[in-house]
Chain A
Amino acid sequence: EDQVTQSPEALRLQEGESSSLNCSYTVSGLRGLFWYRQDPGKGPEFLFTLYSAGEEKEKERLKATLTKKESFLHITAPKPEDSATYLCAVQARGSSASKIIFGSGTRLSIRP
C-alpha cells in the first residue's frame, strides 16, 4: 500500500538552529515527490519537486534531498518567518491523477 509518513509531527527550534524534517514514503515506483509550505489559515504553497534519488534542490534557507525511501527538508539557520507546517506529497509512476498522497505534515516553530 502506498504510504507517506512525516516526522517529527512538531519541531521547535531557536532562531539560527539548523535541523531537518523527514518524509518517508512507500510507493510502487516514484514519479515525483513534492514539498509544500502551509501557513496557518492558508492553502499549501509549492516549494520543490524531486524526481529521482540523489536529486537536491535549494531555495533560500531550504534544501530538499531525495533517496529511494525518503526525502529530507534541511533548514539552515532558520528565522521566525520560516515557522509553518511543511507538507510532503508523492505521486506514483503510472498512477492516475487521483494517486497523490500527502503526509500529515511537520509543524515547525522558530523562536526568536
Chain B
Amino acid sequence: NAGVTQTPKFRVLKTGQSMTLLCAQDMNHEYMYWYRQDPGMGLRLIHYSVGEGTTAKGEVPDGYNVSRLKKQNFLLGLESAAPSQTSVYFCASTPSWGNEQFFGPGTRLTVL
C-alpha cells in the first residue's frame, strides 16, 4: 500500500515550457487535491476533485489545469510556466469531505 505518490520529485523548467505533474493514490479515495506551498504562506489549494471525471477550482487556480480521468490519478498541468509558479506542489486525497487528508511527498518545481 503505497498511499499517495507524486511524479516527478524535482523539476526545473524554463519560462514558457509546459509540464504535467502526476498524483496517484491506491486507497480508493473519492476526493483529491492539489496544493502549492510557499515559504510563510502555508498550503494553498489550486484545484480539487470530488470524484472521477470531476474537477473544480480552488483558491489559486490561474495558470493551472487538472484532469481526473481515472479515480486513482489526478494530473496537474502547467501550460506555460512562469517564475511565480516556482513552489513545492503537494497532492492529497481523502475518502470523503471532512476527513483528514493523506499527502504525497511533494514535487519541487523551479521555473527559471
Query: How distant is the Cα of A27 from the Cα of B52 in the complex, in angstroms?
Result: 30
Give the residue of B42, B48, B56 whose beta carbon is less than 8 angstroms from that of A102: B42
Query: How distant is the Cα of A34 from the Cα of B42 in the complex, in angstroms?
Result: 14
Contacts of A12 in B (CB 8 A): none
Contacts of A43 in B (CB 8 A): 4, 90, 92, 103-106
Query: How distant is the Cα of A89 from the Cα of B106 in the complex, in angstroms?
Result: 18
Contacts of A31 in B (CB 8 A): 98
Query: Is B50 located at the chain interface by the 8 A CB criterion?
Result: yes
Query: How distant is the Cα of A110 from the Cα of B90 in the complex, in angstroms?
Result: 26
A42-B106, A98-B56, A98-B58 known; A87 vs B42 contact (CB < 8 Å)? yes
A contact residues vs B (CB 8 Å cutoff): 4, 31-32, 34, 36, 41-46, 49, 87, 89, 91, 96-98, 100, 102-105
In the complex, besides A87-B43, A97-B33, A102-B44, 20 extra interface pairs with C-beta distance below 8 angstroms are A4-B42, A36-B103, A42-B105, A42-B106, A43-B90, A44-B101, A44-B103, A46-B100, A87-B42, A89-B43, A91-B98, A97-B48, A97-B56, A98-B48, A98-B57, A100-B33, A102-B35, A103-B42, A104-B42, A105-B42
